[in-house]
Amino acid sequence: MSAAGEGWADGSPALPGVAQPAGSAGSAARPAAARGSGGRAFVEIYDTTLRDGSQQVGLDLTVEDKLRVAAALDALGVDVVEGGWPGSNPKDKEFFARAGELPWRNAQLAAFGATRRPNRSADGDPDLETLLVANTPIVTLVGKAWTLHVDEALRTSRDENLAMIADSARFFVRERRRVVYDAEHFFDGYAADRGYALACLAAAAEAGADTLALCDTNGGTLPDDIVRVVRDVIGHFPGVRVGVHCHNDSACAVANSLVAVGEGATHVQGAANGYGERCGNADLFAVIAGLELKREHELLPPGRLAALASTAREIAELANLPFDAKQPYVGSSAFATKAGLHASAIARRPDAYSHVDPSRVGNRAHVLVSELAGRSNVLVKAAELGLDLSSDPELATAVLEEIKDAEHRGYAFEAADASFELLVRRVAGRSAGEIWPSWFDLEGYRVVIEKTDGIAGGSGGSSPQDSTDRSEAIVRLLLGEQRVVAVGEGVGPVHALDQALRKALSELYPQIASIHLVDYKVRILDGRAATSAVTRVMLTSADHDGEWTTVGVSDDIVTASWEALADGISYGLLRAGAEALVPAGA
């Protein structure tokens, strides 16, 4: 049962303390019809994942990755993709050289760079030249706006800084580029010397920059200060597009972006999934969802908001970073309710327990089953999976008994949705006298764990991989009449088993290529519930539509892992519609 449907009125109540954009000059919410095909959203969404976002620790994108991220953002429908800083490294330079390979359906490309060097001319400045060569319709120039930085970091005169901003903007305007001025440390600069901070903006605007992006570079500004400063700036620069670029060091980056738009800002910079250095940039996806669902701005092309969750996941995968289950709007737990006494109420009125309809952002609601949950929670959970147990009290009792028994042995279904569904389907099949469909039967497996010390003799020295534990697994399966034996190699026994299982199944089930392992967690349970310590493995698998979690429990880790792995693959094949060898009811 999906939570889609009645209850979430369009235009939910206003966020407390946020001025409605409609009504303030130049900031009326754009009517849906006004976007039109290929038109630009009134609030411009400017993505900086590839430049500022990639400053995040652990985020290292190749040029190929960068092109894929750009394509995903373009497909989602953001207005601007900032590709990088071509002057800072060869990788970004190559990205711009290859950016033309992408179809670019929605977004325009921006190149980022600093204002010209002090006491030099803009003409002939090598960094500006590199920016020009990137050949993008938009050039974003970062420049100082805080006296402290002019005096201490730039070590030049304040007038020279103003000239650097103006000259650099004029240089690109003359080359018919659209110029965005990123006013670095603007809010700190404003607090230190309002007149000078505004003079920096004026220098850019008078030179032809069409957007003034106020950056909270240190991320320490709170929403009420953002409101006050943005209001003041917009009053000073009528007719110029004013935007914000907020960092999350006070956990306010999204809130600051939203209140800035409330004040009339029409350009928001941020990064996918909130990536960025230190505490990150504003999470662009939360900004988009908030403005579309709660402020009736139409930011993305029609229908694209529903691609938000899958885009967020896709970019996390390209970034090779774990996807945060708690990420607002798009995380797998964002609409997961732990059913207590109110399980039936959740089923009746999902809108009473979620702030928006999850299907609008391509997510879905979950009811978590926990050990303390009773019969009603199991019914709700099964109903969510499309299995109506309420009409069959006997079956409901059988499922409940099985779950209680499994939980006693150490299983936890709270997060292991897929194992729960497989269990319900197996019990349901059994009580109907049917045979649960299966894709493979295990005859046996063997795992060999090999430990090396990293000093590989005679074969070209040691790489980091040589010093990890290599394991080898042999899996013997029955696929109907056919017996298949496959060998897999991997880092650790689970990886080796996964490789062997995939190899054994790949010919019969090509769908397996799209199923992959995303997370693996092991917990040793003490002997409280069971008579001896047992190992519980939680394994998360994913395909391009989403992810699911399975659980395995045993005295030893390999058996527990196998169980979670076999369930994970079975569930993936079920999702993919792969025809089972033993059909239901056979």
Judge residue 224's burial from the number of C-beta atoms within 10 Å of its C-beta, 0-12 exposed, 13-18 middle, 19 or more buried: exposed
Considering only the stretches 50-58, 93-101, 134-142, 512-520, report the one whose residues sit in contact with Zn ion under the rule CB under 5 A: 50-58
User: Is residue 184 near Zn ion by the rule CB under 5 A?
Assistant: no
Q: What residues contact 209, with CB distance under 8 A and at least 6 apart?
A: 141, 169, 173, 179, 180, 181
Please give the structure tokens belonging to residue 566.
Answer: 């076999």
Q: What residues contact 384, with CB distance under 8 A and at least 6 apart?
A: 1, 2, 365, 366, 367
When CB distances to Zn ion are compared, the closest residue is: 52
Neighbouring-strand partners of residue 522: 537
Q: What residues contact 163, with CB distance under 8 A and at least 6 apart?
A: 203
102, 70 in Cβ contact below 8 A?
Answer: yes
Q: CB 54 → Zn ion: shortest distance, Å? A: 11
Residue with smaller CB distance to Zn ion, 52 or 567 = 52
The site for Zn ion, by CB under 5 A, has a size of 1
Residue with smaller CB distance to Zn ion, 204 or 542 = 204
Task: Classify residue 221 as left (phi > 0), alpha (psi -120 to 50) or beta.
Answer: beta
Q: Report the alpha-carbon distance of residue 2 to residue 113 in Å, rounded.
A: 46
Please give the structure tokens belonging to residue 192.
Answer: 């230190």
Q: CB 281 → Zn ion: shortest distance, Å? A: 6
Residue with smaller CB distance to Zn ion, 219 or 437 = 219
Residue with smaller CB distance to Zn ion, 167 or 184 = 184
**Phi, psi torsion values for 563, nearest 5 degrees:** -60, -45
Q: CB 196 → Zn ion: shortest distance, Å? A: 21
Residue with smaller CB distance to Zn ion, 281 or 511 = 281
- Specify the pairing of strand 108-114 against strand 138-144: parallel
Alpha carbon 241 to chain centroid, angstroms:
28
Sign, CA dihedral 319-322-326-332, equals positive
Q: CB 18 → Zn ion: shortest distance, Å? A: 23
Q: CB 138 → Zn ion: shortest distance, Å? A: 17
Considering only the stretches 14-22, 47-55, 487-495, 540-548, report the one whose residues sit in contact with Zn ion under the rule CB under 5 A: 47-55
Considering only the stretches 48-56, 85-93, 111-119, 361-369, report the one whose residues sit in contact with Zn ion under the rule CB under 5 A: 48-56
Q: What residues contact 485, with CB distance under 8 A and at least 6 apart?
A: 474, 475, 476, 477, 504
Residue with smaller CB distance to Zn ion, 142 or 204 = 142
Residue 397-426 contact track with Zn ion, rule CB under 5 A, x = bound? ------------------------------
Could you say which residues in the range 439-478 bind Zn ion, by CB under 5 A? none
Q: CB 187 → Zn ion: shortest distance, Å? A: 12
Q: CB 246 → Zn ion: shortest distance, Å? A: 8
User: Is residue 82 near Zn ion by the rule CB under 5 A?
Assistant: no
Considering only the stretches 49-57, 304-312, 378-386, 453-461, report the one whose residues sit in contact with Zn ion under the rule CB under 5 A: 49-57
DSSP summary character for residue 458: S
Residue with smaller CB distance to Zn ion, 315 or 500 = 315
Using only the alpha carbons of the chain, give its radius of gyration.
28
Considering only the stretches 51-59, 97-105, 110-118, 391-399, report the one whose residues sit in contact with Zn ion under the rule CB under 5 A: 51-59
User: Is residue 52 near Zn ion by the rule CB under 5 A?
Assistant: yes
Considering only the stretches 52-60, 255-263, 408-416, 438-446, report the one whose residues sit in contact with Zn ion under the rule CB under 5 A: 52-60
173, 145 in Cβ contact below 8 A?
Answer: no
Could you say which residues in the range 213-242 bind Zn ion, by CB under 5 A? none
Which residues contact Zn ion by CB under 5 A? 52
